[in-house]
Amino acid sequence: MEKLWSPWRSQYIDSFSETPKEEPKCIFCSASEKGSEDKNSVLVVRKGKLTFTILNLYPYNNGHLMVVPNRHLSEFSSLTADENSEIMLELQLAQQALSIAMKPHGFNIGANLGKVSGAGIDAHLHFHIVPRWNGDTNFMPVLGEVKVLSEDLMLTKEKLLAAYLNISGK
């Protein structure tokens, strides 16, 4: 049997077996707080007025981003018109930044509303943008039930920050 070294996956697997001593704070709320020491706050790549964009700690593909409203809500219909507008703008900017930084061939953009739809975090609404490449689905997920991610999250973050700067012209 071949072995694939993927130590970061153990954090994800272990997260299901840990018994929290108290109700855990929403990871999105923690990540968005100013001066947060939360481990997820380091994954934030952009802050808007009403939203923020964050790298997914357990991505489907390299560069997997999420656009999240600052306000803690789970219902899509509860978004204000301003939040709706900013989310769409931030998804467009994320697509531009990912195009510059990662050069994907396409994108998946969407939201999983509710646990049954596949939302890993259903208490805080968020929108995914996943870069895709021709051939990024191969035998590994099908036969080995494993996804190979080739780039460290912090390197991806550096590339995205540079791309956002490029877009803004600063």
Q: What is the pLDDT of residues 74-120, one digit of tens each?
A: 999 999 999 999 999 999 999 999 999 999 999 999 999 988 888 88
Structural domain for 124, as ranges: 41-168
CATH number of 66's domain: 3.30.428.10
Does 109 map to a domain? yes
Active site residue 64: no
Does 27 map to a domain? no
Question: Nearest Cα to 150, choosing from 50, 38, 61, 28?
Answer: 61
pTM (predicted TM-score) = 0.79
Which one from 64, 105, 124, 126 is the annotated catalytic residue?
Answer: 126
- The count of other CB atoms within 10 Å of the CB of residue 130 is 21
Does 160 map to a domain? yes
Q: What is the pLDDT of residue 30?
A: 87
Does 154 map to a domain? yes
Question: Could you say which DSSP state residue 115 is in?
Answer: G
Does 66 map to a domain? yes
pLDDT tens string 39-79:
667 899 999 999 999 999 888 889 999 999 999 999 999 99
Q: How far apart are CA 169 and CA 10, in angstroms?
A: 40
Q: What is the pLDDT of residue 20?
A: 55
Q: How far apart are CA 165 and CA 170, in angstroms?
A: 6
Count structural domains, the chain. 1
Indicate whether 147 pLDDT > 80.
no
